[in-house]
């Protein structure tokens, strides 16, 4: 009687393992696809940065313009928020929000670091990198799902080993 029970349990575990394995393969495919989308958006953004550099000068669009640890305090305008409506294995997915104000503070426009009259390409580069950011956040969500699926597969493999050992 217990042997029949074990064989049914084993079948059930194997079924779920099959489904999770298939899910993880689909998630891997999706992660690669989204990363390639982010790569395309970043390439576009980098081309616009190069054009802005050509117009403004080599060192006018570089790391030299970025704030350092001695610069005044400022807040990020692009932050991620948990989306409680979309949960998988108890974890909420992320949602990217771009705001002009963050927690009551006015957010500095990063374009201003590069000057007052900046070429249109710098604005285009910002748009492309924001797009890349959206793809990146979606990739992180898929990566979280993949990680959770992998953990479940490991757990079920242990259960399967225990059943087989009986």
Give residues in contact with other proteins (CB under 8 A).
Answer: 21, 24, 28, 31-32, 35-36, 38-39, 42-43, 45-46, 49, 61-63, 65-84, 91, 94-95, 97-98, 102-103, 107, 110-111, 122, 125-126, 128-130, 132-133, 136-137, 139-140, 143-144, 146-148, 150, 153-154
* Spatial distance between the Cα atoms of 13 and 152, rounded to a whole number of angstroms: 11
| Shortest distance (Å) from residue 57 CB to other proteins | 14
Q: For residue 152, what is the enclosing H or E element?
A: helix 120-165
Residue carrying the six token digits 């079948």: 11
**Is the distance from CB of 153 to CB of 20 less than 8 angstroms?**
yes
Q: Which is nearer to other proteins, 6 or 147 (CB)?
A: 147
Give SS3 for 108: coil
Q: Which is nearer to other proteins, 8 or 25 (CB)?
A: 25
Q: Which is nearer to other proteins, 140 or 159 (CB)?
A: 140
* Spatial distance between the Cα atoms of 100 and 80, rounded to a whole number of angstroms: 14
For residue 85, how many C-alpha atoms fall within 13 Å in the half-sphere facing its CB? 1
| Shortest distance (Å) from residue 53 CB to other proteins | 10
**Is the distance from CB of 27 to CB of 142 less than 8 angstroms?**
yes
| Shortest distance (Å) from residue 23 CB to other proteins | 11
Q: Which is nearer to other proteins, 6 or 37 (CB)?
A: 37
| Shortest distance (Å) from residue 51 CB to other proteins | 13
Q: Which is nearer to other proteins, 9 or 95 (CB)?
A: 95
DSSP calls for 46-61: HHHHHHHHHHH-GGGS
């Amino acid at each position: 009687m217990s042997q029949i029970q074990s064989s049914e349990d084993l079948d059930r575990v194997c079924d779920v393992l099959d489904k999770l394995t298939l899910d993880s393969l689909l998630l891997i495919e999706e992660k690669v696809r989204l990363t390639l989308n982010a790569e395309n958006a970043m390439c576009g953004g980098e081309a616009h940065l190069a054009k802005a550099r050509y117009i403004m000068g080599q060192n006018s669009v570089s790391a030299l313009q970025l704030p350092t640890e001695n610069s005044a305090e400022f807040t990020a305008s692009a932050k991620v928020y948990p989306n409680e409506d979309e949960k998988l294995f108890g974890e909420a997915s992320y949602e990217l929000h771009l705001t002009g104000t963050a927690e009551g503070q006015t957010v500095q426009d990063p374009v201003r670091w590069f000057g007052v009259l900046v070429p249109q390409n710098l604005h285009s580069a910002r748009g492309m990198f924001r797009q890349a950011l959206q793809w990146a956040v979606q990739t992180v969500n898929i990566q979280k799902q993949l990680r959770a699926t992998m953990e479940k597969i490991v757990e079920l493999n242990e259960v399967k080993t225990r059943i087989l050992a009986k």
